[in-house]
């Protein structure tokens, strides 16, 4: 282990004996009391020395025997320490690709802020390279979203859509103007490849069938159809529910952006649960949906560029949180934001007892080991939440959240 005080958290002395790590209230932490010699020793925890050499440096600085180990242990328990050599074989492979890692260093620094164990940040970043994600829809939301995931290090991002690129599909970070007239899905895949910090992994003979279900860690439905955004067709996700594939909805309808729900099959509310719940609250809902879907309008639908980009960014953040092993707030909820006020609010999507997805029966039951084998991120997402809560509630004496 080569201990390294997380450089992403800026340090400052609140007084002669107390150090604050981090500026923003969500992650700021104070540590104390610290004497002057120990405070100076923090500068040596930069990832260039192993514990034996650090102990020698501590002896030269007249620190008591065992003080270095105690300090390293204390910083690790507080979630303030990283390991410059940690993360496992996948992390070592990523370190060997300097050009790729340099592209991802801001993402690595961000992950170090929200992970607790030394080496977790680069381990999670490296794990993204083995994941497969599909994005259904390559409009102003879907193409940008897919490029964001690719740029953040997700190893394989596949995009599916029909037709050709229209002028109104063009968006910064998504489909470029020169793609107008090209096949929409092919143009989106080119954008994804252009955003990737590394070549996508070559698919071997053991790769699962390319049907949008098994083998994907996550499927994102970012359809260009505004009706499908506002009233998702439950049948469109039947294969995903059947295969246990997590999926996330995102899009723009009129002047409203929508992110969610993130559906964890059998655990959180799905599109059919949403439909049944709306029908319970508004008996006219099925009649309205039938009329909207039977319309023949060919006009270009509203999709404000800044709103679409905002939706793509938030959806990508929720997707990455899930892929990294956490449960974002879109699980079982739809986040909506409307022009011109742009106030985000959440609408719960509760499991419905009439829905065959089974979420209402299982409630908040844990995923089985079989689910974990199919979707590796699902095996971690609940345990990681528990470990984070545990870390927050069992901090060592002398550390506390900063009120800034």
Q: Which domains does the chain have, with CATH numbers?
A: 3-85 (3.90.930), 129-384 (3.40.50.720)
Residue 101, SS3 per DSSP: helix
How much is the pLDDT for 245? 96
How much is the pLDDT for 215? 85
The residues near 15 (Cβ < 8 Å, ≥ 6 apart) are none
Ranges of residues in the chain with a pLDDT under 50 are 204-206, 208-209, 211-213, 364-393, 403-404
How much is the pLDDT for 368? 39
The answer to whether 243 touches 216, Cβ cutoff 8 Å, is no
How much is the pLDDT for 199? 78
Residue 134, SS3 per DSSP: strand
How much is the pLDDT for 182? 97
Please list the residues that pair with 259 across neighbouring strands.
250, 335
d(CA 219, CA 230): 18
How much is the pLDDT for 212? 45
The residues near 307 (Cβ < 8 Å, ≥ 6 apart) are 252, 255, 257, 337, 339
How much is the pLDDT for 202? 56
The residues near 70 (Cβ < 8 Å, ≥ 6 apart) are none
d(CA 281, CA 287): 13
The residues near 66 (Cβ < 8 Å, ≥ 6 apart) are none
How much is the pLDDT for 385? 38
Query: What torsion do the CA atoms of 156, 152, 260, 257 make, to the nearest 10 degrees?
Result: -120
d(CA 351, CA 36): 56
């Amino acid at each position: 282990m080569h201990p390294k005080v997380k450089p992403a958290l800026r340090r400052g002395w609140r007084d002669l004996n107390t150090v604050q790590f981090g500026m923003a209230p969500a992650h700021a932490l104070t540590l104390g009391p610290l004497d002057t010699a120990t405070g100076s020793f923090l500068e040596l925890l930069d990832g260039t020395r192993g514990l034996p050499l650090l102990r020698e440096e501590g002896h030269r600085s007249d620190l008591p025997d065992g003080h270095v180990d105690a300090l390293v242990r204390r910083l690790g328990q507080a979630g303030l320490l990283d390991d410059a050599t940690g993360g496992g074989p996948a992390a070592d492979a990523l370190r060997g690709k300097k050009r790729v890692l340099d592209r991802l260093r801001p993402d690595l620094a961000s992950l170090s802020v929200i992970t607790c164990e030394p080496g977790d940040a680069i381990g999670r970043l490296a794990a993204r390279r083995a994941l497969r994600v599909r994005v259904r829809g390559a409009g102003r939301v879907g193409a940008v979203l897919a490029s964001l995931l690719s740029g953040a290090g997700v190893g394989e991002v596949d995009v599916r859509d029909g037709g050709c690129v229209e002028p109104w599909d063009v968006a910064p970070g998504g489909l470029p103007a020169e793609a107008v007239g090209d096949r929409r899905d092919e143009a989106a895949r080119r954008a994804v490849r252009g955003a990737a910090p590394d070549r996508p992994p070559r698919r071997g003979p053991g790769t699962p069938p390319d049907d949008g279900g098994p083998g994907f860690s996550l499927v994102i439905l970012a359809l260009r159809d505004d009706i499908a955004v506002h009233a998702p067709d439950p049948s469109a996700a039947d294969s995903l529910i059947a295969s246990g594939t997590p999926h996330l909805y995102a899009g723009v309808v009129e002047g409203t952006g929508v992110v969610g729900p993130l559906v964890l099959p059998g655990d959180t509310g799905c599109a059919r649960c949403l439909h049944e719940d709306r029908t319970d609250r508004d008996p006219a809902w099925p009649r309205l949906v039938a009329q909207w879907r039977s319309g023949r309008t060919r006009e270009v639908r509203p999709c404000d560029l800044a709103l679409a980009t905002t939706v793509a960014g938030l959806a990508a953040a929720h997707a990455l949180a899930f892929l990294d092993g956490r449960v974002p707030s879109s699980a079982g909820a739809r986040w909506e934001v409307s022009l011109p006020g742009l106030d985000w609010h959440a609408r719960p999507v509760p499991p419905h007892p009439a829905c065959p997805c089974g979420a209402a029966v299982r409630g908040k039951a844990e995923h089985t080991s079989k689910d974990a084998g199919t979707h590796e991120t699902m095996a971690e997402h609940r345990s990681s939440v528990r470990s984070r809560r545990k870390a927050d509630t069992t901090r060592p004496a002398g550390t506390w959240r900063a009120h800034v």
